[in-house]
């Protein structure tokens, strides 16, 4: 059998028999020590399961790369640390499903381990095939009925939570916010308050005794995105030509980070969202600030003229000026926001200048063009934008 190969490859007879011997030796080793290999396979399987399980849990717990705070990265989102009514429900059902799955895993793994050890092949044992059992009504009924019951319980429990969350009617006077997904930023509109902002959703805290939830209408300007702030609510797709609705009811003031959870283009990973939950008074103050038209600072007039003379005004709105573009984020109160480019950089004067000079340098693929401004124009423009508090 080797001769043909030998002839074509020029291997000598001695080398061929050596190769055959080493193959035989390897095969002998494999056959002779099934237990050892069995254990290795089990250890390997446990390792793989542990790696897959841990990375799965990590991806559930740590959705985003970490949003930028005023001084560096802040918390990472964690669906097991909810602060909002729908998120509490999601955590509870997650623990319930994980608990059932954990029991199944323990039972199956224990039976498997027991079988591997108890029925392993022993040296000098009878090597004939054991009796083969075909068909057992009791066993087949058991392994059909029990899983069907388990799936039914999981289905009912999940459906109850889904309908409980989705069927929640907004009480009157509920804050309504429209969130529009763009490549790659979030437009945030408060239709009843006349506020438009970007990448930062400000909402009031809700007192469980006197709930004040925020209802969100999700729309997309281009492709499918997905709204996900794990500590506040479940993940919901943001689909072009379709309106989805969800709600949050945070009980604790603070900053909660989220992100787009549906691949939507090259900068999908930098489509971060910050939700700032204010005490009631602070939220009212924020609303008053945001409702004011843009500051018209005389000192920055030249920069404002630069802004008006290049294409900036085609895409951006600055309320109270001729700039009323809607393709890019509303800049009326740009400096009240803490990040640029949906979380790609902190909103500092230096980053702002770099961003305008070359958006692709910070966020490759960003749809904002580099306007080829001179250094002087850049300085004037940045000076103007810095007044938009």
Site residues for ligand CUA per CB under 6 A? 181, 184, 225, 260, 262-264, 268, 271
Q: Cα separations (Å) of 225 from 64, 105, 302?
A: 15, 34, 38
Number of other CB atoms surrounding residue 193 within 10 Å: 14
Which residue lies nearer to ligand CUA by CB, 278 or 363?
363
Beta bridge partners of 248: 214
Nearest to 315 by CA among 303, 323, 307: 323
Please state, in angstroms and rounded to a whole number, the distance separating the CA atoms of residues 132 and 112.
Answer: 19
CB of residue 342 vs ligand CUA: minimum separation in angstroms?
Answer: 9
Give least dist CB 339 to ligand CUA, A. 16
Strand runs (DSSP E) across 183-271, as ranges? 185-190, 195-198, 200-204, 214-220, 225-228, 236-238, 244-248, 254-260
Helix (H) or strand (E) holding 69, with range, is: strand 68-69
Quote the radius of gyration of the chain (alpha carbons, Å): 31
CB of 165 to ligand CUA, least distance (A): 22
Per DSSP, the three-state class of 307 is helix
Nearest-approach distance from CB 341 to ligand CUA, in angstroms: 13
Asked if the peptide bond before residue 220 counts as cis, ω within 30 degrees of 0, the response is no
Provide the terminal-to-terminal Cα distance of the chain, rounded to the nearest Å. 84
Minimum distance, C-beta of residue 274 to ligand CUA, in the bound complex (Å): 15
Q: Shortest approach of ligand CUA to residue 271 CB, angstroms?
A: 4
CB atoms near residue 163 (< 10 Å): 10
Nearer to ligand CUA, 163 or 263 (CB): 263
Which parts of the chain fold into alpha helices (H)? Answer: 3-9, 13-32, 34-61, 85-118, 137-166, 280-291, 301-309, 312-315, 349-357, 359-362, 375-385
C-beta closer to ligand CUA: residue 91 or 235: 235
From the centroid of its chain, how far is CA 267? 13
Q: What is the DSSP letter of 225?
A: E
Give the shortest CB-260-to-ligand CUA separation in angstroms. 3
The distance of closest approach from Cβ of residue 102 to ligand CUA in the complex, given in angstroms and rounded to an integer, is 32
φ/ψ of residue 363, rounded to 5: -145, 90
**Residue 91: CB minimum distance to ligand CUA, A:** 24
| E strand or H helix at 178 | strand 175-182
Q: Minimal distance in Å, beta carbon 241 to ligand CUA? A: 16
By beta-carbon proximity to ligand CUA, the closer residue of 271 and 318 is 271
CA dist 379 and 312 (Å) reads 15
The helix-helix angle for 85-118 and 34-61 (nearest 10°) equals 180
């Amino acid at each position: 059998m080797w001769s043909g190969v030998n002839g074509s490859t020029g291997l000598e007879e001695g080398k061929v028999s050596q190769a055959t011997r080493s193959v035989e030796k390897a095969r002998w080793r494999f056959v002779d020590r099934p237990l050892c290999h069995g254990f290795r396979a089990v250890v390997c399987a446990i390792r793989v399961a542990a790696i897959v399980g841990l990375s799965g849990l990590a991806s559930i717990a740590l959705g985003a790369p970490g949003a930028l705070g005023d001084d560096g990265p802040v918390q990472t989102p964690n669906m097991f640390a909810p602060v909002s009514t729908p998120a509490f429900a999601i955590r509870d059902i997650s623990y319930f499903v994980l608990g059932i799955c954990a029991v199944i895993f323990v039972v199956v793994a224990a039976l498997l381990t027991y079988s591997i050890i108890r029925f392993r092949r022993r040296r000098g044992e009878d090597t004939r095939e054991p009796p083969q059992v075909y068909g057992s009504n009791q066993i087949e009924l058991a392994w059909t009925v029990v899983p069907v019951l388990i799936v039914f319980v999981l289905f009912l429990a999940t459906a109850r939570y889904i309908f409980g969350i989705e069927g929640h009617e907004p009480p009157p006077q509920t804050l309504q916010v429209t969130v529009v997904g763009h490549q790659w930023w979030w437009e945030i509109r408060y239709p009843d308050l006349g506020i438009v902002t970007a990448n930062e959703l400000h909402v009031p805290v809700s007192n469980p005794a006197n709930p004040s939830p925020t209802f969100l209408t999700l729309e997309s300007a281009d492709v499918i995105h997905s709204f996900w702030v794990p500590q506040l609510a479940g993940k919901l797709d943001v689909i072009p030509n379709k309106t989805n609705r969800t709600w949050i009811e945070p009980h604790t003031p603070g900053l909660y980070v989220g992100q787009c959870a549906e691949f939507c283009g090259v900068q999908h990973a930098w489509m971060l969202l910050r939700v700032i939950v204010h005490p009631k008074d602070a939220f009212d103050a924020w609303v008053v600030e945001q409702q004011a038209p843009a500051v018209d600072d005389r000192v920055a007039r030249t920069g404002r003229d630069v802004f008006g003379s290049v294409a900036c005004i085609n895409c951006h709105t600055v309320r109270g000026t001729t700039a009323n573009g809607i393709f890019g984020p509303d800049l009326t109160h740009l400096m009240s926001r803490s990040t640029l480019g949906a979380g790609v950089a902190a909103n500092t004067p230096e980053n702002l200048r770099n961003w305008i000079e070359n958006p692709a340098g910070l966020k490759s693929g960003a749809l904002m063009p580099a306007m080829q401004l001179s250094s002087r124009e850049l300085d004037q423009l940045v000076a103007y934008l810095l007044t938009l508090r």
